[in-house]
Chain A
């Protein structure tokens, strides 16, 4: 079976070579090519290819920021013309590293090597899982914004978008509340309604079925009351 992949590369010539090599090898099926990290992340919210050919230096966010934002553990082949990234690549536990420009022979070696490697289980991966970090990146207004988890008051579902509310600003990003629930799994965040996830540390008070967070009234859904009560430190 062919390995499914995407190419994240801002230089068209480099991406074209990769597509040509993938096709020639018969080993890899290219599901998409993205010129920047934000577009790639949008795709990865919906689909989970086995392999990502990832450039490091691109306009906006870089390849390592994409790795920080991944919610699963695909195989990664870094493609860059800078050898200085080798150490970072090692730290992120990427599967291989191709220095651009590379030949078909080198490409084939890399793909075969990666295909022979076992699939990394989420428990052993060293690619920083976003739930363990104190920040996340969200795409807002055509850029990736670094958001500290501590700064988030709550998130509201808006169909295919999620609104992030912080004390000073509101961000709207193309994502789902379910995906955010997975990314923000931990003691600070809890889903209190089908349309809301709140930061427990930011609650001012609760009156009846409404939570108040810095002037915002958030409803508590019937099915979430018990979970919420269990998580609150009620004396």
Chain B
């Protein structure tokens, strides 16, 4: 059976936006997902470090960076969540944001897992297209 020429993104991702962003270029999508997986751990380490140091201004800046990264792989809802957290950083202490931080960390873990799977799927899809 001939492989499908249309790649369907995971339901958690904003597929309409990703289709507009990549314009069907699944090779480039694979590159971006790979870059995301390469960059996110280092950025998240900075998030963790600033949270542990209770440096709220730096925490806001570091979340801001991760927010942008999430956007490029279609996690538009997580992007909004990061924006809310970033805004809260300006007004709250680390202790006050403990629950939000925990939730965001879980969401980030789930997101990373989804992108790992999507990256593997994209890779297989692109190999099938060659």
Contact = CB atoms under 8 A, between A and B. Distances in A.
Interface of A: 10-14, 16-17, 20, 57, 59, 81-82, 100-101, 103-105
Interface in B63-115: 64-65, 67-69, 71-72, 79, 83
Contact of A81 (B17, B35, B36, B68): B68
Interface in B4-42: 17, 20-21, 23, 28, 32, 35-36, 39
B20 A11 contact: no
A17 B35 CA distance: 12
B28 A101 contact: no
Nearest to B20: A103
A14 B68 contact: yes
A11 B69 CA distance: 8
Sorting the interface of chain B by its residue count into under 10, 10 to 19, 20 to 34 or 35 or more gives 10 to 19
Given A13-B32, A100-B72, 19 more contacts: A11-B39, A11-B69, A12-B35, A13-B35, A13-B36, A13-B68, A16-B32, A16-B35, A17-B32, A17-B72, A20-B28, A57-B64, A57-B65, A81-B83, A82-B64, A82-B83, A103-B17, A104-B21, A104-B23
B61 interface: yes
A28 B67 CA distance: 27
Contact of B21 (A11, A12, A16, A101): A101
A57 B20 CA distance: 25
B72 to A, nearest CB: 5
A10 B66 CA distance: 12
A182 B32 CA distance: 43
Nearest to A14: B68
